[in-house]
Chain A
């Protein structure tokens, strides 16, 4: 009993840290990335003792500011729902993640632990059910604020949820037909095969059309541009969170990014092989663990040294620019990189190429989990990239796209997939 509890708590803790680590990084990427896309420099002022990390301190400063701000609330609000809505948004974002595996299994002390918090047989239904609950956070928040703008925002969020949830379900049904299971661990495991010996059997390869439908639906579900109707600044102030301030606003804000992480994780797990590394199945990694680990340490050390040299070059160039603590930053970061590189080279002294079988299994787990995190990072970045590229759809255009184009397209995709599978299997 105790072992099971510890196992669950450890996995939930890892998942929580993963999402909560992604949130400030994404806020930073949103601000810095949009700045670079628009030829601006973006945030570069907030710093601790001159260490600014290219603006990474700003999310921390923002949260500190929001914690200490006065909580201004509308007088005629619904007291309970107004406070409950941001919590609901956050809880739902976290709960969706429970069924997504972040690795195959980890072997500790001869026992295998699967790296998923709840390996539900109806995992995909759980995702569909819980992620649509996320709209309740938005809808209740907008309604409980008792303001016309927030009300419009929550109405729009509800409308887009109703329209795009169907597309999402239809796109996923095609995937269920191909992999024959609703269990996400099985779908991910099924994506480790190769088609014809060279093409990875990823969801995007077997269901390219379904993937496009799914990604459109996920963007609508997470309220991101081009489907950001529920918080469109130019039309309805800030949408559903207009009347929120202080920590409650921070919670809504973080929930939005947590939803993005979950959306990215879903795309990565269902359509891009999850933790599977293409052309490198787990047995292959385990048998080559020693040389892979050595290579990783060497490549990592070389990369860190290159970064360090760039930092030192910058330290020389920026000498005398500021005349304060900020001038020490590049030199300090360069030194940190050198220390890490030396640490990696020092780890070579432990002879990682003679790693044992248990160690090999751990290495394989770490490589796979790392790969999954990298995929999540890419798709989370894609959310931001698309937001600063594509203009938003008008409300009626969103509805027309959802009902008249994506819904029939999803049906066609489902029927064609079913017919194709029937032809292959008969």
Chain B
């Protein structure tokens, strides 16, 4: 049985005399690469290369960047320390310590909320698991660099004030 009408055995054409002599074919190849060279020499601006630190690629709104914690109107975190995100996290990078919230209708709040950015795999499951829309990955930040491993473990304060211009 052949697949989609394609032959079972693909036969390659034998090279003819001229092609076996290589030189004509090499000249053809040189013409092709030379064409690219000349074209690019006079159109350096039209090259597809992104000159990275000066130019940046536009990413879509669903791009998963560095996490942030959303705030209530009074500036406290929306998070209720339900541990859903840290449970679902495949990289086990979120650790939350819960405390009792003074407002009985809220019940709990995170006393600490740390994310180890080096362990995070940016899968976005924490966003999906969160029942209160408290954690989001919509900052669009992907340039994450620091001098030490400790600096990558970010705390609640950092995550609350994390916006697009924020640096680590």
User: Do A and B belong to a common assembly?
Assistant: yes
Q: Which residue of B lies closest to A37 (CB)?
A: B33
Residues in chain A near residue B47, CB distance under 8 A: 39-41
Q: Is residue A386 contacting chain B, with contact meaning CB distance below 8 A? A: yes
Q: Is the CB of B26 within 8 A of A36?
A: no
Tell me which of B23, B29, B30, B36 contacts A36 (CB under 8 A): B36
Q: Is residue A64 contacting chain B, with contact meaning CB distance below 8 A? A: no
Q: Is residue B146 contacting chain A, with contact meaning CB distance below 8 A? A: no
CB distance from A319 to the nearest CB of B (A): 13
Q: Is the CB of A390 within 8 A of B29?
A: yes
Q: Is residue B74 contacting chain A, with contact meaning CB distance below 8 A? A: no
Given known contacts A385-B34, A388-B33, A36 and B41 CB-to-CB distance under 8 angstroms:
yes
- A to B CB contacts below 8 Å, 25 in the list: A33-B37, A36-B36, A36-B37, A36-B40, A36-B41, A37-B36, A37-B37, A38-B36, A39-B36, A39-B40, A39-B48, A40-B47, A40-B49, A41-B44, A41-B49, A41-B51, A212-B23, A385-B34, A386-B30, A388-B33, A389-B26, A389-B32, A389-B33, A390-B26, A390-B29
Known: A37-B36, A37-B40, A389-B32. 7 other contacts (CB 8 A): A36-B41, A37-B33, A41-B44, A385-B34, A386-B30, A389-B33, A390-B26
User: Size class of B's contact patch?
Assistant: 10 to 19
Compute how far the CA of A333 lies from the CA of B40 in the bound complex, rounded to whole angstroms.
21
Tell me which of B30, B40, B49, B54 contacts A389 (CB under 8 A): B30
Q: Is residue A68 contacting chain B, with contact meaning CB distance below 8 A? A: no
Compute how far the CA of A321 lies from the CA of B49 in the bound complex, rounded to whole angstroms.
15
Q: Is residue A322 contacting chain B, with contact meaning CB distance below 8 A? A: yes
Compute how far the CA of A212 lies from the CA of B23 in the bound complex, rounded to whole angstroms.
8
Q: Which residue of A lies closest to B23 (CB)?
A: A212
Q: Is the CB of A322 within 8 A of B54?
A: yes
Compute how far the CA of A386 lies from the CA of B30 in the bound complex, rounded to whole angstroms.
7
Contact with A along B28-71 (1 / 0, CB 8 A): 01101110110011001001110100100000000000000000
Compute how far the CA of A390 lies from the CA of B47 in the bound complex, rounded to whole angstroms.
23
CB distance from B150 to the nearest CB of A (A): 29
- The number of A-B residue pairs with CB atoms under 8 Å apart is 36
Closest 3 CB pairs of A and B: A36-B40, A389-B29, A41-B49
Compute how far the CA of A36 lies from the CA of B41 in the bound complex, rounded to whole angstroms.
7
Compute how far the CA of A338 lies from the CA of B161 in the bound complex, rounded to whole angstroms.
54
The residues in A between 389 and 408 inclusive whose CB is less than 8 angstroms from any CB of B are 389-390
CB distance from A306 to the nearest CB of B (A): 14
Compute how far the CA of A185 lies from the CA of B30 in the bound complex, rounded to whole angstroms.
32
Residues in chain A near residue B23, CB distance under 8 A: 212
CB distance from B9 to the nearest CB of A (A): 23
CB distance from A307 to the nearest CB of B (A): 13
Compute how far the CA of A371 lies from the CA of B49 in the bound complex, rounded to whole angstroms.
37
Contact with B along A38-66 (1 / 0, CB 8 A): 11110000000000000000000000000
Most chain A CB within 10 A, of B33, B44, B48, B54, is at: B33
Contact with A along B96-136 (1 / 0, CB 8 A): 00000000000000000000000000000000000000000
Compute how far the CA of A37 lies from the CA of B51 in the bound complex, rounded to whole angstroms.
18
Q: Which residue of A lies closest to B26 (CB)?
A: A390
Residues in chain A near residue B34, CB distance under 8 A: 385
Compute how far the CA of A228 lies from the CA of B48 in the bound complex, rounded to whole angstroms.
30
Contact with A along B14-29 (1 / 0, CB 8 A): 0000000001001001
The residues in A between 1 and 60 inclusive whose CB is less than 8 angstroms from any CB of B are 33, 36-41
Compute how far the CA of A235 lies from the CA of B164 in the bound complex, rounded to whole angstroms.
45
Most chain B CB within 10 A, of A36, A212, A322, A385, is at: A36
Compute how far the CA of A169 lies from the CA of B48 in the bound complex, rounded to whole angstroms.
47
The residues in A between 200 and 242 inclusive whose CB is less than 8 angstroms from any CB of B are 212
Residues in chain B near residue A322, CB distance under 8 A: 54
Residues in chain A near residue B37, CB distance under 8 A: 33, 36-37
Compute how far the CA of A326 lies from the CA of B7 in the bound complex, rounded to whole angstroms.
58
The residues in A between 103 and 134 inclusive whose CB is less than 8 angstroms from any CB of B are none
